[in-house]
């Protein structure tokens, strides 16, 4: 008889916990699903933001390289044509100006590629590393809601975790947009300067 009472009591307690969990499921699941969906749906756009083929950084770089090559070729051609003339027929002032401009272009190009680009790349790669870590976290946590609830963990904490991930995704998105804008502006400025 004791066994029957004990088993009945345990069954009632387990049933009560399952009913309570089901009620929590219904009440909190919509919040959890909304929070999860929000952060999961932002991840593809965030990945594109850090892909230089999609964010425009690579496309903005091609005209800069072309302008640098064209400016150098044009100046070197002018220098060669003027240098090919007899010494007394050469325009020494123009020749000096072209040589000085070639030197300025080479210095500018070296500074861009040895200072600005590595500094920008380091900031971009750091933000991209955080983006990849967030992507892994989101992927790992996106299917945890059922396990979380079955384990009896606080559903509000799960929703809070997804909300926190969402805030961090937004922070990284702001950083990425600023870095991409900086690179696009730098390329635009470089191209203008090289075409002067």
What is the DSSP annotation of 2-20? HHHHHHHHHHHHHHHHHHH
Q: Does pLDDT of 131 surpass 60?
A: yes
Q: Does pLDDT of 164 surpass 50?
A: yes
Selection from 66, 51, 15 nearest residue 132 by Cα: 51
Q: According to the model, what pLDDT value does residue 5 have?
A: 52
Q: Which parts of 4-148 are beta strand (E)?
A: none
**Cα distance between residue 162 and residue 195, in whole Å:** 49
**pLDDT band at residue 22 under the 50/70/90 scheme:** low
**pLDDT band at residue 28 under the 50/70/90 scheme:** confident
Structural tokens at position 143: 């299917």
Degrees, nearest 5: CA angle 109-114-120: 105
**Cα distance between residue 30 and residue 135, in whole Å:** 22
How far, in Å, are 77, 80, 95, 100, 149 from residue 91 at the CA level? 14, 12, 6, 14, 84
Chain segment 77-109, per-residue pLDDT in tens: 998 988 888 888 888 898 899 899 999 999 999
Mean pLDDT of the chain: 84
Q: Does pLDDT of 118 surpass 90?
A: yes
- Provide the 3-class DSSP secondary structure of residue 121: helix
Q: How many residues does the chain have?
A: 196
Q: Does pLDDT of 19 surpass 50?
A: no
Q: According to the model, what pLDDT value does residue 187 have?
A: 92
Structural tokens at position 191: 């191209």
> Counting Cβ atoms within 10 Å, is residue 50 exposed (0-12), middle (13-18) or buried (19+)?
buried
DSSP letter, residue 89: G
φ/ψ of residue 143, rounded to 5: -110, 20
| 3 vs 134 pLDDT, higher one | 134
Q: Does pLDDT of 10 surpass 50?
A: no
**Cα distance between residue 196 and residue 192, in whole Å:** 7
Chain segment 33-81, per-residue pLDDT in tens: 888 889 999 999 999 999 988 899 999 989 999 999 999 999 899 989 8
């Amino acid at each position: 008889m004791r066994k029957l009472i004990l088993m009945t009591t345990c069954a009632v307690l387990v049933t009560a916990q399952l009913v309570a969990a089901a009620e929590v499921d219904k009440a909190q699941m919509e919040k959890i699903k909304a929070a999860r969906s929000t952060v999961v749906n932002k991840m593809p756009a965030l990945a594109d933001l850090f892909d230089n083929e999609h964010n425009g950084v690579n496309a903005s770089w091609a005209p800069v390289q072309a302008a640098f090559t064209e400016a150098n070729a044009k100046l070197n051609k002018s220098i060669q044509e003027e240098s090919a003339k007899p010494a007394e027929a050469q325009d020494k002032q123009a020749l000096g100006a072209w040589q000085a401009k070639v030197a300025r272009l080479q210095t500018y190009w070296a500074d861009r590629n040895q200072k600005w680009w590595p500094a920008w790349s380091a900031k971009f790669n750091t933000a991209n590393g955080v983006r990849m870590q967030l992507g892994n976290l989101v992927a790992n946590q996106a299917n945890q809601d059922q396990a979380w609830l079955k384990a009896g963990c606080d559903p509000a904490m799960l929703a809070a975790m997804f909300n926190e991930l969402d805030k961090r995704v937004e922070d990284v998105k702001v950083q990425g947009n600023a870095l991409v804008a900086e690179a696009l502006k730098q390329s635009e400025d470089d191209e203008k300067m090289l075409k002067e």
